[in-house]
């Protein structure tokens, strides 16, 4: 199992993000009065803010594909001189507004944003209830003094899900904390959504489903949806990428032509490696869903749905028009080629007929 405290041991450089995300979550929680809705709309806002970057990345990728012919020319021109080739390639991309850091920046930001989200769902008393860290540490010490079963041994100031549960389930502990001024009654937050406790972690141990089916069976919805949305997003990425139909047709022709199978061994190996890597991501996400609070699974599900919506928007706004224009250009080229071939054939036929006429006249 992944130690969730590893995710919390990030540099203080991310503290401004923790504060900003915590403030936004608190505003949403106070507005909706529901923890699940606060997480959902936080995800929509965060992922929605990344849509322009996603669009820019897609446009850059389309421009790169449109320049593939010129890139091949540069490869032929500079041959083995990789330094000149790379410089010429960068200049060409810069002139045409292709390339850039948007493609790398998007996944990096998505990864970075996991930490503040996880910090919030692991430390709701800090970010939702605004209880001070000193008071949280005091409550942890008090709970440990009352026995390990009250809050558990793994509770910390930044990862205090066990403390939240103790305050909700142990009346004696709650009264003592209020009496000592560590927390106020109005600072106790409800962390349920549709009857599910979002502080709980979905279980992979079947015994827990037998012991407490009402708690653990509903939580299975998060791992199932995380896996389903991840696979759907992966398939849409493949289907909606530029040139997918041509690539699929080329593979089918290669499959039907045994003579070409041996030539593509290296390509097939690379493709198989990519397939394995693509399937690893949903597997990793599924595994981590069973090691973190259910609120984190809710974030991933909504984030995946937002990603799918973005993919569809980008496809119909940019990819599909690009494919249509590309098909029109190819059709025009083919028409010109056929016309040139027809004229050449007619010219050859006329020349042959003229030669025969002269020969007959001579005789």
Inter-residue contact 161 to 184 (CB < 8 Å): no
Please enumerate in sequence order all residues whose Cβ is within 8 A of that of 25, keeping only pairs 6 or more positions apart, or say none. Answer: 38, 39, 42, 120, 127, 128
H-type alpha helices, 258-362: 258-261, 265-289, 294-314, 320-362
Question: H or E segment at 196?
Answer: strand 196-197
- In angstroms, rounded to a whole number, what is the distance separating the alpha carbons of residues 119 and 24? 13
Inter-residue contact 242 to 65 (CB < 8 Å): yes
Question: H or E segment at 192?
Answer: strand 192-193
- In angstroms, rounded to a whole number, what is the distance separating the alpha carbons of residues 301 and 43? 9
Domain ranges of the chain: 5-128+189-261+270-322, 131-188
Per-residue pLDDT of the chain (363 residues; tens, 9 = 90+): 445 554 555 456 788 889 999 999 999 999 999 999 999 999 999 988 888 887 777 777 777 766 666 767 777 776 776 777 677 767 766 666 655 555 567 777 888 888 899 999 999 999 999 999 999 999 999 988 887 677 877 788 888 888 998 898 889 999 999 999 999 999 998 999 999 999 999 988 889 889 989 989 999 999 999 999 988 988 888 888 776 676 666 666 666 665 555 444 445 565 667 677 777 778 888 888 898 899 999 999 999 999 898 888 888 888 788 778 777 767 777 777 676 666 666 666 665 555 555 555 555
Residue 292 CB: number of other CB atoms within 10 A? 21
pTM of the model: 0.78
Question: H or E segment at 193?
Answer: strand 192-193
């Amino acid at each position: 199992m992944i130690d969730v405290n590893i995710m919390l041991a990030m540099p203080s450089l991310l503290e401004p993000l923790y504060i900003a995300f915590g403030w936004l979550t608190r505003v949403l929680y106070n507005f909706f009065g529901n923890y699940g809705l606060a997480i959902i709309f936080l995800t929509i806002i965060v992922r929605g803010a990344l849509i322009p970057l996603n669009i820019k990345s897609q446009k850059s990728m389309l421009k790169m594909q449109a320049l593939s012919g010129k890139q091949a020319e540069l490869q032929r021109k500079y041959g083995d001189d990789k330094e000149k080739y790379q410089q010429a390639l960068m200049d060409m991309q810069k002139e045409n507004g292709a390339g850039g850091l948007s493609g790398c920046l998007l996944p990096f930001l998505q990864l970075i944003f996991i930490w503040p989200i996880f910090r919030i769902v692991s430390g709701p008393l800090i970010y939702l209830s605004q209880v001070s860290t000193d008071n949280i540490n005091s409550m942890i010490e008090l709970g440990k003094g009352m026995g390990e079963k009250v809050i558990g041994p793994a509770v910390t100031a930044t990862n205090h899900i066990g403390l939240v549960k103790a305050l909700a389930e142990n009346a004696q502990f709650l009264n003592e904390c209020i009496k000592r001024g560590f927390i106020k009654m109005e600072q106790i937050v409800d962390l349920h959504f549709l009857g599910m406790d979002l502080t709980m972690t979905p279980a992979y141990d079947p015994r827990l489903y037998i012991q407490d089916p009402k708690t653990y069976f509903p939580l299975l919805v998060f791992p199932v949806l995380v896996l389903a949305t991840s696979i759907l997003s992966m398939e849409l990425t493949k289907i909606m990428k530029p040139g997918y139909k041509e690539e699929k047709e080329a593979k089918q022709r290669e499959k039907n032509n045994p003579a070409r199978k041996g030539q593509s061994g290296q390509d097939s190996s690379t493709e198989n490696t990519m397939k394995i890597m693509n399937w690893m991501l949903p597997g990793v996400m599924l595994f981590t869903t069973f090691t973190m609070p259910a609120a984190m699974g809710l974030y991933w599900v909504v984030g995946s749905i937002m990603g799918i919506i973005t993919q569809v928007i980008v496809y119909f706004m940019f990819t599909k028009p690009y494919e249509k224009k590309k098909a029109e250009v190819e059709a025009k080229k083919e028409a010109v080629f056929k016309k040139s071939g027809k004229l050449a054939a007619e010219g050859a036929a006329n020349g042959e007929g003229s030669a025969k006429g002269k020969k007959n006249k001579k005789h």
